[in-house]
Amino acid sequence: MKYARLLLKHIPQETTRFFVEYYTGRFVPRKQLKEPETSKAAPAATGSGGLAQYTAFLPQIPYRSTPVALPIQAANPPVAVGVSTSPSAMESQTNGPEVPKYIHPQPRTAFSSFVENPREFIEFLESLLEVESELKQVDKIDIYTTLFEMYLRRAKGAVEVAEREEWEAKAKKIIQSKEDLIDTSNILLLSHLSNFSDGTVLVREKQGLRFDIFRSCTSAGDTEGALEALRKYGHEEPQLYTAALAYFTSSAKVLNEVGEKELKNVLKKIDELGLMKPLQVVQTLSVNAVATVGMVKKYLGETIQKERKEIEAVSCHKHYKVLK
C-alpha cells in the first residue's frame, strides 16, 4: 500500500492485476528457494603459481615421483528462483505443504490508491464483482456505489455523445438491477451532483416516490420533465394533477411551454376525479393572473353546463318517480 500509487503510475496494468488477485483471495506469493550450501574448499587460483600451491595440499600418489592434481569439480550451480502459479506447483518446487489461504482485506482499503488511475480503478472494481458471491454485503454496497460514481465521472468527461451514453447506461443498469446493493442516499446525491436526472428518477421510482420526481422537475424548472412525470404517474398519483395545475399557472413562461391543450387535459382530469371544487380551480387559476379570462370563462362555462345537465337528470328522475 505504501508504494501502490507509484506502481500504478509506472506499471498500471501489472499492478491492477496484482490488486485483483490479492483482493479476491487468489494471490499465490512467489517462493524464493534456498541455494544449497557449497563446499568450503578454497577457490583455485589462476596462474601456474596458484596451481602449484593447490597441488601441494593433495596427497601423494604411490610410485609417482611428482604429485598429481586431481581434476577440479565445478560447484553445484545455484537453484534458480521458482515462481509458482498454483499451490500444487508450489508444493512440487518446495516439497512442502500448500500455501495456506488468507483472509483478503476489505476492497475499500485499496480505493485511495487508484485516485489518479480511474481507468484501472473501474477495471479493479468490475473484476471484484466476478467473485461477488464471496464478498460481504457491506463490500458489495461499497463496490456498486463507487462503481456508479466512476461511471458518472467517465460519462461527464466523455467527448463523444455515444461514449457518454454508454457510461450512463452502465450507471442506470446498477440502479435497475442492484437495488438492494446500493446506498440510495449516496446514489441520489451523486446523480444530483453529476446532473444525472435519469439516476434520480430511477431511484425515486424504485422507492415509490413519484410525487418527489414531479416536484424535483418543477423545482428545476424542467417543464418537459414535469409533463412526462404527470403522464407516467398521474393515474397512480391523482394528486399530481392538482400540483400540475398550480405549476402550469405559476408563470406565463411555464404556461406558454405547457400550452392550453395540456392545461385543458389537467382541468378535465381534476373534474373527472373530483379532486377540486370549481371554486378552488378558479382560485388557483387566478392566483398569479397568468390564465387568461378566456381560459377561466371557458372552464366555468363547461362546468356550469355539466352541473346543469346533472341537475336536470336528477330532476327528471325525481319527476319520473313521482309520476310512477
C-alpha–C-alpha distance, residues 312 and 320, integer Å: 12
pTM for the full model?
0.56
C-alpha to C-alpha distance for 25 and 21, rounded to whole angstroms: 6
| Residue 310 clears pLDDT 90, i.e. is over it | no
pLDDT at 317 over 80: no
Residues for the chain: how many in total? 324
Rounded to 10°, the helix 118-128/12-23 angle is 30
Name the band, by pLDDT with cuts 50, 70 and 90, for residue 167: very high
How far, in Å, CA of 248 to CA of 290, rounded?
Answer: 9
Residue given cell 483471495 in the structure block: 25
pLDDT of residue 113: 92
Where do we find the cell 537453484? 79
Could you tell me which of 21, 101, 14 has the C-alpha nearest to residue 4?
14
pLDDT of 161 > 80? The answer is yes
pLDDT in tens, 258-298: 888 888 888 888 888 888 887 788 778 777 666 666 666 77
Q: What is the 3-state secondary structure (H, E, C) of the chain?
A: CCCHHHHHHHCHHHHHHHHHHHHCCCCCCCECCCCCCCCCCCCCCCCHHHHHHHHCCCCCCCCCCCCCCCCCCCCCCCCCCECCCCHHHHHHHHCCCCCCCCCCCCHHHHHHHHCCCHHHHHHHHHHHHHHHHHCCHHHHHHHHHHHHHHHHHHHHCCCCHHHHHHHHHHHHHHHHHCHHHCCHHHHHHHHHHCCCHHHHHHHHHHCCCHHHHHHHHHHCCCHHHHHHHHHHHCCCCCHHHHHHHHHHCCCHHHHHHHCHHHHHHHHHHHHHHCCCCHHHHHHHHHCCCCCCHHHHHHHHHHHHHHHHHHHHHHHHHHHHHHHC
Q: Which carries the bigger pLDDT value, residue 230 or residue 99?
A: 230
Per-residue pLDDT at 233:
81
- Is pLDDT larger for residue 291 or for residue 59? 291
Q: What is the pLDDT of residues 117-158, one digit of tens each?
A: 999 999 999 999 988 888 888 999 999 999 999 999 999 888
